[in-house]
Amino acid sequence: MRQNMSIADIAKEDFDSEISEVKAFVNSHKDNFQDILNNALKSAVRYEYTTVECNGTGGWYNPDYYLFLAVGGYHRGKIKKCKSKPQKYGYEYGFDENGRLIYDYMCGSNNYGLYFYNSEYVYRVGCFYINDDEHFFLIDMFTKYRFDGGKAKECTYFNILPGIGISMVEKDCYFYQDDKVAFRRYTYFNNSDKELISKHLQWINETGLRDMIDMSDMFDMRDIYSDDYVFSLDENDVFTHYTAQDGRIYDVLYSGFTLNDASYFPL
């Protein structure tokens, strides 16, 4: 059946399958995420803290290094050397007795990340409280990581409109060969879900956003888009520059990052 399908249709089918997988996972835990977070906060036996400039989904422990090597505005920061909780930090990380990362917390926010492990993937569920009210507990991001030899192979982000559904999927893929790392990002706009579109448009109307934003192409993006980069490493396996899809060469934005650093996630 799939041999008669176009590459674009196969890709869309695969994305729809992943979206169904995420929906099933979230639905199976939806009544327990708050308890899971509370248990993670209580059961952590070791903590790490980053410098204040650390940002982005998961901060230091986001294995998707393309973000801080090639995308402006993302900062990996550094792990602080401290024996107790510092007054100022970017992210707090909690680890269980097996050394696995079980939660992250962005300082000064209501935002947490919960980590789940199976034989093939690591899941991160981004969740938050609204206005410090524990009765309003929402999920806004689901991330799926796959590793090969400890290094990032796939990092897939499912953007969730709270109470509505998955609006967009971004999949970042890494391919390793000698002194090169090829990277491709696929972006899929989940506008095939008519119920999702209807709910979101209703929400836009109710909040008054319709008069504030350009609605002309809001749900007309029906294809899968891709961006390609090739990262180059020196003789010490340090990432030095990357070649963009248009053929231009740029220096990486974070100096000193090595191929060994790409294996730093605590699996």
Retrieve residue 68's tokens: 């801080």
What pLDDT does residue 17 have? 87
pTM of the model: 0.83
Percentage, residues of the chain above pLDDT 90 = 46
- Tell me what the pLDDT averaged over the chain comes to: 83
Nearest to 140 by CA among 117, 114, 166: 166
Hey, which bits of 131-254 come out as E strands?
133-148, 151-161, 165-177, 180-189, 224-233, 239-243, 249-251
Q: Return d(Cα 237, Cα 250) in angstroms, integer.
A: 17
Expressed as residue numbers, the domain containing 236 is 2-263
Q: Is residue 184 over pLDDT 60?
A: yes
What pLDDT does residue 218 have? 37
**DSSP β-ladder status, 111-117 and 224-233:** unpaired
What pLDDT does residue 84 have? 92
pLDDT tens digits along 37-53: 999 999 999 999 999 99
Count of structural domains within the chain:
1
Q: What is the 3-state secondary structure (H, E, C) of 61-110?
A: HCCCCHHHHHCCCCCCCCECCCCCCCCCCCEEEEECCCCCEEEEEECCCC
Among 17-26, 96-105, 157-166, name the one with the lowest average pLDDT.
157-166
What pLDDT does residue 135 have? 55
